[in-house]
């Protein structure tokens, strides 16, 4: 993926027309809006169930009461993981 600086350099050199790039953006697929449960688990893409389980375990170790974490945050994490797994099983 090109950074904006790279794209600007290509346009300055005449290698690539910026207007072509802008017109091509109209045909990009719409972004999938992730559910809040995936954002709580720090995902920026749609994971599979194994990834959800692994991420839940690693975050749960950090947020558990025995490690000085908040009970409220831990419960929210549990609910988010359960909701994410349900979502993926239904899809």
Lowest mean pLDDT among 3-12, 31-40, 56-65, 69-78: 3-12
- Which ranges in the chain belong to alpha helices (H)? 4-13, 18-25, 36-40, 49-63, 71-90
Quote the pLDDT of residue 2.
Answer: 62
Q: Are 65 and 71 in contact (CB under 8 A)?
A: yes
**What percent of the chain lies above the pLDDT cut of 90?**
45
CA angle 53, 56, 57 (to 5 degrees): 85
The ranges assigned to domains in the chain are: 1-30, 36-90
Quote the pLDDT of residue 1.
Answer: 54
Confidence band for 39, pLDDT divided at 50, 70 and 90: very high
């Amino acid at each position: 993926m090109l950074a904006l600086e790279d794209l600007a350099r290509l346009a300055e050199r005449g290698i690539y027309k910026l207007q072509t790039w802008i017109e091509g953006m109209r045909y990009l697929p719409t972004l999938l809006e992730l559910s809040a449960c995936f954002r709580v688990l720090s995902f920026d893409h749609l994971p599979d169930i194994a990834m959800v389980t692994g991420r839940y375990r690693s975050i749960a170790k950090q947020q558990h009461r025995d490690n000085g974490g908040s009970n409220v945050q831990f419960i929210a994490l549990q609910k988010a993981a359960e909701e994410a797994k349900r979502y993926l099983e239904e899809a």
